Structure 1
Amino acid sequence: MRKNDEILQSKFEGACSKLTYLGLGETKYKDEVIYVPDFYPGEEGEVLVSYKRNGQYFGKLLSLSKPSKDRIPSECPYFKQCGGCIFQDYSYEKEKEHKRLLVQNQLHKITGIDVDVNPTIGMEEPSHYRNKIQLHFGRDKNGSTVLGFYKEGTHVVFPVKKCLIEDKRASDISSQILALVRDLEIPPYQEENGTGELKHLLIRTSFHKEQILCVLVTKDLKFANRDKLMTMIQRCCPQITTLVQSINGKKTNVILGNKEVVLYGPGYIEDELCGLSFKISARSFYQVNPEMTETLYEKAMEFADLKETDVVLDAYSGIGTIGLIAAKNAQKSIGVELVPEAVKDSIENAKRNEIRNFEAHEDDATSFIQKYAKLGMKVDVLFMDPPRKGSTPEFLAATKELKPRKVIYIACAPSSLARDLKELLEDYSLDAIQPIDMFPRTAHVECITLLCRKDVKNS
């Protein structure tokens, strides 16, 4: 047996030296790094080396002999199972500082530059902020229907009565719907054999309006007691302003199906952001933390410092939130988004807010900016909010060719941000970087970065 194999299932007394970018505690055993959840810097305790994945060892904290002064009691009974809110028992001030250092360290590691990252802007009360919740139907060991989250790394559903980061209204609705499903004996979908009907429950809430969208994801359009269930939901949950059925008959990790049926209400809700009204449907990309989204976009506009003569390009524009907010202070705002439904929503959002200097394009962001640069079109300020994996080398090359005066880069993954900045820093200076805690109690952090073209600053 190789030496490394002997480490598995070993128990040892370890000390946590630091947190990783995923929020795991780092300790060592026999010169090997062991990653341990719920283990904070300065703590000591007994650790079990439980498994090895992709050449890395992961452990489980069995007991604490020296807890950190920053460890706090957790009110959530589920966080160690779901793996989402890994910082539920950690000081929020320390969590925000960890996220600042995470951004700073990733930038130094990947770009080689040292930069002062601003203190993380967080929430006054980091709870009940999510306006979108996705729950899954399943069965417990006794065969009863349950509604909850997947255990980390599995599709095993564990029941959840309430989540400390979701809108409180969602907890009430999910409990009522579960009771109705049990009364009507409608079976949950079972992945292993493809039987059952109910797959997922999606709830979206409006922050500024008393509106709630509820989406029931089922395997089939019609099933036993379907009409009775929908009628009873409407009667027992009057706070739901629109109910949608999404049909997803595939065995897939994708939540929503391709077919949707609006059972009552308009099929969408509305919310307000930075003085504008937005339509939000089941598929719409809309930030999950409305309070901090306003902070994020206000900071983006502060960094942009738009002029009345500016032409703005909003890449990866979704339903047009950034582009429409920017349009209020620019000559023209252009949004580009690949998802057809999102483009349609952005056009409708422009109309509902009577914004006439915004245009939306259905296109891949890289393809669009390449064509725009080739045509020599004018863009003064580029907003880019790519997915977690970041942008593409071709997009970044076209950005340098297009030569906007400023680039406002919004990122949800510091490592992807740092990789992309490495390309842009040839022509741009990094003038500010601001972490925004859009996802309190989780390992994730959003960043907004101000890049200014060097030849403009120095001219």
Structure 2
Amino acid sequence: MAKQTIPVQKNDIIEVEFQDMTHDGSGVAKVNGYTLFVPYGLPGEKAKVKVLKTKKAYGYGKLLQLTSESEFRTEPSCPIYNQCGGCQLQHLTYEGQLNYKQKQVQDALARIGGLEHVHVHPVIGMEPPWRYRNKAQVPVGEEEAGLIAGFYQKSSHRIINMEACLIQEESNDQVVNIVKRIANDLGISAYDEQEHRGVLRHIIAKYGKQTKEIMVVLITKTKDLPHKKQLIERITKEIPNVKSIVHNVNPKRTNVIFGDETSTIWGEPYIYDYIGDIKFAISARSFYQVNPVQTKVLYDKALEYAALTGKETVIDAYCGIGTISLFLAKQAHKVYGVEIVGEAIADAKRNARLNHIENAEFAVGQAEKVIPWWHKQGIQAAVIVVDPPRKGCDEVLLKTIIAMNPERIVYVSCNPATLARDLRILEDGGFETKEVQPVDMFPHTTHVECVALMSRVEK
């Protein structure tokens, strides 16, 4: 059998036409059947491309010049878009982004799950699709002129200094810039991950969309926070609405942001915010949806699919701090939530008390172990809601759901690929996928959230 030759070589400059986009937003071109991935290419466009790297089945290229443009191409609004790795789709109009995300979901369901028959609704977008993130989490570095803070350059750990991020709440931009300036004035050094020395690793700003409350989190390599008193005095003086200043210590040589030691050094350990009419306490470590406006849209759809009458028992797997559970509890007879992270369950219980919700019960543990135990105790759920991490549901949990045979399953997903895989397993176990509703929680990025409704097939 003749050895297959690659039709392009490194450093070749070629003409291509883009046919598709990958899950990470790169353009896909074919050269005599050979696949080339090129960032910033859009379907239907023709371009001159330089080949950067070749492998046996595919290669990578760099966009040099467009010879014909897509109707959905637009000029990115962010001046550092081509350097920063935070957004991937600003060169695509918002209408184009929503079309791309719907296709991404449809393709995953068909290719991975064999679910071509499932109706995927148009993506519910956000208007305006800017300034939505309520949490800024930026690494700190140092240049000759002083401290810098921003997101990492694509595929690197080089910090791109950033004065403003167009997908961040403006208050968070202000917090990061003010803290950076104060730390610089006080001579607090930035952490150097190559040398594993220095002090300030990350600045985190959290913002309550409804309450306007602000939390500042300072993550340092050292247990000692230099100039702590002056730092607190200036932050509280210069940042309006700051309610909490938290210090976290991470002495390890790691890419993980938080260390094990967290203390509130000024104000309260929580700020508060609302999704709909439900109030949430947000700590430095607790997970809280970064786009509360679209979270409300997502949860309203999950509630609609759950179709609760007030008589049902509901199980919420991967419940986190109880966000979906508390929405469900308003319309259900009883809700059971399970989550492996103990701090999240403590937050869920606190949030239930905060909202005077007494029909929600929370347990710490692996969903695939806790839910079967509940089942043995005689708990029978009419509706099971799952909202797993990107890796999707554990196989044991899926088997447990099939064994419990609820009337409906509401699957909230942040990854179309694992959603498709899990829906296939549940379909093979006696359920039918009725419809899928994508929601754009993260405009200008490639991420898309979905809510899928499944019903038991009556035998």
Q: Partner of 1:342: helix, strand, or coil? A: helix
Shift of 1:4: 4.3
1:424 aligned partner, one-letter code: L
Q: 1:304 to 1:237 in 2, by over 3 A?
A: same
The equivalences for 1:133-144 within 5 A come to 133-140=136-143, 142=144, 144=146
| Residue 439 of structure 2, aligned match among 419, 425, 436 | 436
The equivalences for 1:91-102 within 5 A come to 91-102=93-104
1:83-117 C-alpha deviation (Å, 9 max, x unpaired): 33111121111110111111111111112121221
Query: 1:113 maps to which residue?
Result: 115
Q: 1:224 to 1:349 in 2, by over 3 A?
A: closer
**Contact 1:373 / 1:399 at 8 angstroms: preserved in 2?**
no
Shift of 1:351: 0.7
Q: Partner of 1:79: helix, strand, or coil? A: coil
Query: 2:79 maps to which residue?
Result: 77
Q: Partner of 2:232: helix, strand, or coil? A: helix
| Residue 450 of structure 1, aligned match among 445, 450, 453 | 453
Q: Give distance in 1, aligned partners of 2:440 and 2:420.
A: 18
The equivalences for 1:259-408 within 5 A come to 259-408=261-410
Quick check: 1:419 aligned with 2:414? no
Query: 2:228 maps to which residue?
Result: 226
Query: 2:207 maps to which residue?
Result: 205
Unaligned runs of 5+ residues in structure 2 are none
Q: Give distance in 2, aligned partners of 1:224 and 1:332.
A: 49
**Contact 2:334 / 2:360 at 8 angstroms: preserved in 1?**
yes
1:304-336 C-alpha deviation (Å, 9 max, x unpaired): 110221001111001101111111111111110
Q: Which moved more, 1:434-443 or 1:214-223?
A: 214-223
Q: Give distance in 1, aligned partners of 2:425 and 2:199.
A: 49
Query: 1:130 maps to which residue?
Result: 133
2:134 aligned partner, one-letter code: N
Shift of 1:238: 2.9
Q: Give distance in 2, aligned partners of 1:67 and 1:139.
A: 39
**Contact 1:376 / 1:402 at 8 angstroms: preserved in 2?**
no
Q: Partner of 1:176: helix, strand, or coil? A: helix
Quick check: 1:23 aligned with 2:28? no
Equivalences, count: 455
Query: 2:247 maps to which residue?
Result: 245
**Contact 1:103 / 1:117 at 8 angstroms: preserved in 2?**
yes
Unaligned runs of 5+ residues in structure 1 are none
1:408-457 C-alpha deviation (Å, 9 max, x unpaired): 000000000000011100211111110000111100100000000011xx
**Contact 1:214 / 1:244 at 8 angstroms: preserved in 2?**
yes
TM-score scaled to structure 2, two decimals? 0.95
**Contact 2:152 / 2:159 at 8 angstroms: preserved in 1?**
yes
Query: 1:195 maps to which residue?
Result: 197
Q: Partner of 1:229: helix, strand, or coil? A: helix
**Contact 1:373 / 1:401 at 8 angstroms: preserved in 2?**
no
Q: Give distance in 1, aligned partners of 2:333 and 2:305.
A: 17
What value does the CA root-mean-square deviation take over the aligned residues? Answer: 1.8
2:153 aligned partner, one-letter code: K
Shift of 1:187: 1.0
